[in-house]
Amino acid sequence: MPESMPTIQELVAASLRAQGYDGLFNPGDECACILNDLMPCDEPSINCVAGFRGPPRDDDFDFGVYESREEAEKANEENARN
């Protein structure tokens, strides 16, 4: 493969950055990833969608990825109160 050909991961990361997203998450699963560690599973689902980083949704992760920036900010506010 020529060096100039970007990988799917690189294309997705560039698109997410360009549109202001922080990562991906799968709404039907407890799976999420952020730009600096995108697709660590090496098997992204066709159900993965773009999202915004926020506080963890559970104790298994250091972060959560939310459907909207507003939802992530609301979760950050609620997390700060607790």
Helix (H) or strand (E) holding 75: helix 69-81
Contact 41, 51 (CB under 8 A): no
* Domain-embedded: residue 16: yes
Query: In sequence order, which ranges of the chain are alpha helices (DSSP H)?
Result: 8-18, 69-81
* Domain-embedded: residue 39: yes
* Domain-embedded: residue 2: no
pLDDT above 70: residue 2: no
pLDDT of residue 30: 79
At 74, the pLDDT band (50, 70, 90 cuts) reads very high
Average pLDDT of the segment spanning 76-82? 86
Give me the number of domains the chain comprises: 1
Which residues, in sequence order, are bridge partners of residue 53? 65
pLDDT of residue 1: 55
* Domain-embedded: residue 3: no
pTM of the model: 0.81
pLDDT above 70: residue 81: yes
Q: Strand order in 31-34's β-sheet? A: 31-34, 23-26, 49-54, 64-66
* Domain-embedded: residue 69: yes
52: which 2 tokens? 């915004």
Domain that holds residue 59: 8-81
Tens of pLDDT along 22-69?
A: 999 998 887 899 999 999 988 888 999 999 999 987 777 788 899 999
* Domain-embedded: residue 55: yes
